[in-house]
A and B are shown apart, each in its own frame.
Chain A
Amino acid sequence: MVKIRVIYESGEPERVIEFDPREAPFSHDGEPGSILDVLLGHGVHLEHACGGKCACTTCHVIVKEGEASLSEQRENEEDELDNAPGLTMHSRLGCQAIVGGDITIVIPRYTINQVSGHG
């Protein structure tokens, strides 16, 4: 079993998910076995405005531990991450990063693609 520990920058209580990567996909969205796929399939919400197709940055997460357990970043993920606010050296898109071992992630408070009150 593999473990994802989810920490919220907003201060919400953290969540821990244990799962078997061989059972992916867990949901309809994101790469099978990705952080997004695992979270959604285990009842943990993560924004994914584009439906998990690497077309926005709303599933931006910061990897605190276990970065080497994630799939390598590809060019389309890098292109999108360029637009993520609060980009760090440990930023990933939840829909693209496939989980192979235990990780700890931080969900940032805001994303650039989020709007708050047009019209």
Chain B
Amino acid sequence: MTSSPPSPGGGGRGGSGAPALYDATLARIHEWSADTRSLFLQVAGGARLSFKPGQFISLELPIGDAGEPLVRAYSLASSPEAGGVIEICVDRVPGGPGSTHLFGLAPGAALPFKGPFGSFCLDEPPAAGMVFVGDGTGIAPIRPMVRRALERGGEAPIVVLQGARSGTPLLFADELRAWARAHPRLRWEPVAVGAGPAAGVEPPWPAGASAEPGGLEALVVERYVRADAERTRHFWICGVGDFVRRLRDALRGAGYARRAVRYEQW
């Protein structure tokens, strides 16, 4: 710990127990919509970041208070095995200093970060059924977790409930659909939250996608709390807002083990 702000160092410089600080540059931008982007970061020196699926990095943006960088955490949407370029998903937050700064960057910009961090992850999949609930960009940390679960093999069923609000894109839909086709134990269910996709945006909503006015919360409670007495499933829940904590409480209150209900609320 130091009382002075850290300065960017070489890729992966650590030292005296402080978190490693990586130099990285913005290599590429993928625009999912006007307000949602994937940013691809190239770690300096061709270094490869070692992390567990589901973990996040902390960008240190040069726009903070009192000489401190502004720290903004973003889940890694890419897999540890994917190589030296890592991917994060960014929503534009009106008036938000961090996302406004990030949306103004062009390829080549410096993006130093620390990490990886966080315990909302899946390293070794459990033998029991797995349910992943991701709302909006909350699918980002879930993507590498599902990939890890599939790669490790086994027969446990995997369900991915992916929520998207009216007018917002369904991130990684093509890939998740392809995984579900290739792996019969994976069920991918896009859930149109609220009024469904807006005009002008054409997410690849498959036939039979759930339209849930109550959103993911109502669907999960109905299916995994009310519909049966099975309580061995493991959950990973991620998204923006209080629905994450309400789901945590509903599932734990219904008898699922505390440590089997993992969540990350943004």
Interface residues of A (CB under 8 A from B): 8, 10, 12, 15, 27-29, 40-58, 75-76, 79-80, 83, 107, 109-110, 113-119
A-B contact pairs, 30 of them (CB 8 A): A10-B1, A27-B65, A27-B66, A27-B68, A28-B64, A28-B70, A42-B66, A43-B3, A48-B71, A49-B19, A49-B114, A49-B118, A53-B265, A56-B56, A56-B118, A57-B119, A75-B248, A109-B1, A113-B19, A113-B118, A113-B119, A114-B19, A115-B20, A116-B18, A116-B20, A118-B12, A118-B50, A119-B22, A119-B43, A119-B50
* Contacting residue for A45 out of B3, B17, B43, CB 8 A: B3
**Chain A neighbourhood of B58, CB < 8 A:** 49-51
With contacts A28-B70, A50-B56, A53-B73 taken as known, whether A118 is within 8 angstroms of B20 at the C-beta atoms is: yes
With contacts A40-B68, A107-B1 taken as known, whether A115 is within 8 angstroms of B73 at the C-beta atoms is: no
With contacts A80-B119, A117-B20, A118-B49 taken as known, whether A43 is within 8 angstroms of B11 at the C-beta atoms is: no
Q: Which of A75, A79, A118 has the most CB of B within 10 A?
A: A118
B31-72, CB < 8 A from A: 43, 47-50, 56, 58, 64-68, 70-72
With contacts A28-B70, A119-B48 taken as known, whether A55 is within 8 angstroms of B56 at the C-beta atoms is: yes
B13 in contact (CB, < 8 A): yes
- A8 vs chain B, min Cβ distance (A): 6
Asked if residues A119 and B49 are in contact (CB atoms below 8 Å), the reply is yes
B120 in contact (CB, < 8 A): yes
CA distance A39 to B17 in the complex (A): 20
- B69 vs chain A, min Cβ distance (A): 10
CA distance A105 to B116 in the complex (A): 26
B114-131, CB < 8 A from A: 114-120
With contacts A117-B12, A119-B11 taken as known, whether A51 is within 8 angstroms of B116 at the C-beta atoms is: no
Asked if residues A41 and B3 are in contact (CB atoms below 8 Å), the reply is no
- B10 vs chain A, min Cβ distance (A): 10
**Chain A neighbourhood of B172, CB < 8 A:** none
CA distance A109 to B1 in the complex (A): 7
Q: Which of B5, B18, B119 has the most CB of A within 10 A?
A: B119
- B137 vs chain A, min Cβ distance (A): 14
B2 in contact (CB, < 8 A): yes
CA distance A42 to B64 in the complex (A): 13
